[in-house]
Amino acid sequence: MANFYRDNEDIRFLLDHMNLADIAELQEEGFRFTKDADYAPADAKEAIQNYKMVLDAVGQLSGDFIDPRSEEIDQEGNTLHPDGSVCYAKGIAESLDALAKADVMGATLPHRFGGLNFPNLIYTAATEMVSRADAPLMNIFGLQGIAETINAFASEEIKQKYLPPFSAGTVTGAMVLTEPDAGSDLQACKVRAFQDDDGNWYLHGVKRFITNGCGEVLLVMARSEPDRSGGLGLSLFVCDRGPTVHVRRLEDKLGIHGSPTCELFFDNTPCELIGERQRGLVTYVMALMNGARIGIAAQSMGIAEATYRVARDYAASREQFGMPIEKLPAVRDMVIEMKIAIEAGRALLYETCRAVDTEVGVLKKMEHGVEDKAEAKELKNLSRKYKRLTAMLTPMSKYYCSEMCNSVAYDAIQVLGGSGYMKDYPCERYARDARITTIYEGTSQLQVVAAVRGVCGGTAEKYLVDLAEKEYDGGLENLLGILAQGTEQLLKAVAFVKNAGVDYMDLYGRDLVDIAIELIVGYLFCDQASTKVDMQTALADGADNGQKMISMKERKALITRRFITKNASKITARVERICSGDKSTFREYEALVGPSLQEA
C-alpha cells in the first residue's frame, strides 16, 4: 500500500526538525479552544500528534486512492453541458468525496466552523502530497485560501453562511480575478459591481481563466467605484453559483486536464461585499494571492517529487552497455541535481510557511491585546519583521519551486529518453502539468519583481544576518565562510543596482533573487545538517550497489556541501554580470530582435 507521507523521509525529517511546538502554540492561541471544541488539542504534544496523524491519512489516501485515478482523469477531463453546468472527471469527483470524508477540506479553518485549525505548514505538506498524486486535484483541494479570506475579512454573517460547508467539503470555491484584458495587471479589472436602490450588490461582466470557476462559492474582484481607475476602485465580493452565473466555455489546456478552467459571465449576479469598499485589490486579493502562491509552490513540489521518482527508478532498472544507466556519470549527475533541487525547494517553501504561521500567530496575539508594554512592543517589532520577511519569501518560493518543477520534469523525460516522450510513462503528463506552475497566480517574472524589492530593500540582508548567527555544527565552518562571502557579493551587487535605477534592478532582478535564494537555502541546509533529529536513511553504495544506512544528518551534510560549493561560482558569475552595467536590453532591443510581424 502506497503512503506518500511515510515514503517521503524529507517531509517527515523537516517536520521533526522544525519547531512545531511553537507554531502549534501560536496557531491554537495558547490552546484556549479546548473548552469550545472537543477535538481541539490541549497542548503542543497533542497538536503535533494530530498533525502527523492527519498527514499520514492524507498520505495514505494520496498514494492508495488518488494517484491510481490520475491517468484516467487526465484523459477524461471535464464536461460542459448545454445548460452551463460542469461535470468533473469521475476520478476528481471521487477524490474530492474521499477528502471530504477524511475531514481535511477545512484544514486551516477555525474549530468553531468545523475546521482543523491547522497551521499553513501542515496544510502545505498535505497539499504537496495531494499534488504528487494528482496535480489537477490540488487546484480544487488547494483553494481553501478562499475560505481563509472569508474568515479573515468577511462579516460574521457571511462566515457562518459559507465556512461550515467549506469545512464539510460540501462546497468548493474559486478565485475570480482574471479578465480577458486584465491578466497580470489586475488593476485593469472592468467587471462592474453596482447597488440597487435598496443597497443590494450585483455583478456584471466577464472573467476568464478561472480555475474551478464552476465551484459553488465565488470570490470576485470587481470595480465598485466607476469614477476611480486603478486598484482603489476595486472591491471584493462573494456570490453563489446560480442561474445568473454562466460558464461560457471550458479552456482546452496543455495540462492539468482534471482542473476545470472556465470563462464566466456574470449577468447582474447578486453578491455580498467582503470587508470594506476599495480594499479589494490592495488588502484582500493580495492576501488571497499570497496564500495561492504558496499553494502553487506546494503543487510544484508534488509534481517534481512524482516525476523524480519515475526517473530515479528508471535509471536504476534500465540497462544499457551492460549496466544500469544510473552508472553513467552524466545520468548520475542529472539525478543527483534533481534530488537536491527538490530538497532545496522544500526547505525554502517550508521555511516560508513557518514565517507565515509566525506572522499570523503574532497578529492574533496582538489582536487579543497584551497588557505588558514590553511584550506588546516586542510583538509589534516581531510582526513588522515577519511581514517583511513573508513578503519576500512568498514570491521567492513560488518562483523557485515552480521553475525547479519544470526543470525536474524536463530532466526526467531526458533520463527516460524516448520512453519519457511516450505516454507509456507518466513523465510526459507531469511535464504538461508542470508548465502552468510558472504562469498562474503570477508568472515567474512577476514573482521576481516582488521578491527583488525585499532583496534590495534590506530584508534579505537582515534575514541572512539572522541565519548566519545561528549555531551550526563545527564541521561546517568552511561552508559558512563561503556563504558569508556570497552575502558580501550580494550586497555589492545590490549597492550597484541601487545606483543604476529601478529599471536596471528589474532587468537583473532574476540574478539578484537567485543569489539570495541560494544563500538562504545554503543556510537552511546547514541548519538541517546540524539537526538533532535521529533518522536513518538507505544510501546506495556506489561500489556494489548494495544499501548502507546513514543518518539523515550525515546525508544532509553531503547535500549541503555539494549545494553550497557548486553555487559559489554561480554567485560570483551573477554578481559580475549585474555589476557589468550592460544596458543593451534597453538601448538595442529593436536592433537585436528586429521588427514585429505587424510592423513588417
**pLDDT digits over 20-39, tens only?**
999 999 999 999 999 888 88
| pLDDT tens per residue, range 400-430 | 999 999 999 999 999 999 999 999 999 999 9
The total of other beta-carbon atoms located within 10 Å of residue 375's CB is: 11
- Rounded to an integer, the average pLDDT of 98-105 is 96
**pLDDT, tens digit (0-9, with 9 covering 90-100), for 436-465:** 999 999 999 999 999 999 999 999 999 999
| The residue type at 452 | V
Residue 364 in this model has a pLDDT that exceeds 70? yes
Euclidean distance between CA atoms 498 and 225, whole angstroms? 37
C-alpha cell at 235: 472591491
Sign of the CA dihedral running 120, 121, 125, 131? positive
Mean pLDDT of 365-394: 91
- Cα-atom radius of gyration of the chain, to the nearest Å? 24
d(CA 116, CA 114): 7
* pLDDT reported for residue 538: 61
SS (H, E, C) 523-550: HHHHHHHCCCCCCEEEEECCCCCCEEEE
Residue 139 scores a pLDDT above 50: yes
Which pairing describes strands 261-274 and 323-324: parallel, antiparallel, or unpaired? unpaired
Would you state the pLDDT for residue 183? 78
Local structure of 417: helix, strand or coil = coil
- CA–CA gap between residue 337 and residue 333 (Å, rounded): 6
CB of 248 closer than 8 Å to CB of 265: yes
Q: At 235, is the secondary structure helix, strand, or coil?
A: strand
End-to-end CA distance of the chain: 61
Instruction: Please name which of 96, 115, 218 lies closest in space to residue 165, comparing C-alpha atoms.
Output: 115
Q: Which of 155, 238, 154 is nearest to 193 (CA)?
A: 238
β-strands 79-80, 86-87: how paired?
Answer: antiparallel
Q: How far apart are CA 42 and CA 35, in angstroms?
A: 9
In this structure, are residues 309 and 490 in contact, taking their beta carbons and an 8 Å threshold? Answer: no
Range 178-205 average pLDDT:
92
Residue 543 banded pLDDT, cuts 50, 70, 90:
very low
> Is the pLDDT reported for residue 536 higher than 80?
no
Question: DSSP letters of 250-299?
Answer: E---SS-TTS-EEEEEEEEEEEEEESSTT-IIIIIIHHHHHHHHHHHHHH
- Would you call 427 helix, strand, or coil by DSSP? helix
Q: Which residue, among 388, 387, 396, 484, has the nearest Cα to 446 in the 3D structure?
A: 396
Residue 544, pLDDT above cutoff 50 = no
What gap in Å lies between CA 138 and CA 132, rounded to an integer?
A: 9
Domains in the chain, CATH or no CATH each: 1-171 (1.10.540.10), 173-278 (2.40.110.10), 443-591 (1.20.120.470)
Q: Does 577 score more than 70 pLDDT?
A: yes
Kind plus residue range of the DSSP H or E element containing 492: helix 477-500
Cell reading at 244: 445568473
Determine the Cα–Cα distance for residues 133 and 58; give it in Å rounded to an integer: 11
> Collapsing DSSP states into helix, strand and coil, what is residue 462?
helix
CB 306 within 8 A of CB 432: no
Average pLDDT over residues 382-390: 96
Q: Is the pLDDT of residue 539 over 70?
A: no
Burial 385-404 (b: 16+ CB within 10 A, else e): bbebbbbbbbbbbbbbbbbb
Residues 280 and 254 sit within 8 Å (Cβ to Cβ): no
CA-wise closest residue to 65 among 124, 2, 125, 137: 2
Q: Is the pLDDT of residue 202 over 50?
A: yes
Instruction: Label residue 185 by pLDDT band (50, 70, 90).
Output: confident
Q: What cell numbers appear for 365 in the block?
A: 496575539
User: What percent of the chain clears pLDDT 70, i.e. is strictly above it?
Assistant: 98
Q: What is the pTM of this model?
A: 0.96
What's the one-letter identity of residue 367? E
Q: Find the angle CA(438)-CA(9)-CA(528) to the nearest 5 degrees.
A: 80
pLDDT tens digits along 288-297: 999 999 999 9
3-state secondary structure of 176: strand
Q: Which of 115-124, 194-203, 222-231 has the lowest mean pLDDT?
A: 222-231
Q: Is residue 254 classed exposed, middle or buried when 0-12, 13-18 and 19+ CB atoms within 10 A define those classes?
A: exposed
Exposed, middle or buried, 251 (CB in 10 Å: 0-12/13-18/19+)? middle
State the DSSP code for 65: I
Secondary structure E strands in 72-216:
79-80, 86-87, 173-176, 192-195, 201-211
Among residues 572, 535, 571, 567, which one has the least CA distance to residue 550? 535
Tell me the per-residue pLDDT of 43-54, one tens digit each, with 9 for 90 and over: 999 999 999 999
- pLDDT at residue number 598: 76
| Gap between the Cα atoms of 594 and 374, Å rounded | 63
Q: What is the pLDDT of residue 547?
A: 62
Query: Which pLDDT score, from 0 to 100, does residue 455 have?
Result: 98
- Residue pair 408/343 in contact (Cβ under 8 Å)? The answer is no
Residues 6+ apart with CB under 8 A from 30: none
- In whole angstroms, what is the distance from residue 70 CA to residue 89 CA? 10
Residue 384 above 80 pLDDT?
yes
Per-residue model confidence as pLDDT tens digits over 234-252: 999 999 999 999 999 999 9
For 551, other C-beta atoms within 10 Å of its C-beta total 14
**If you average pLDDT over residues 483-510, what whole number do you get?**
97
CA distance 490 to 182: 35
Which secondary structure element, helix H or strand E, spans residue 363, and what is its range? helix 329-368
Query: Under a CB-based contact definition with an 8 Å cutoff, are residues 97 and 141 in contact?
Result: no
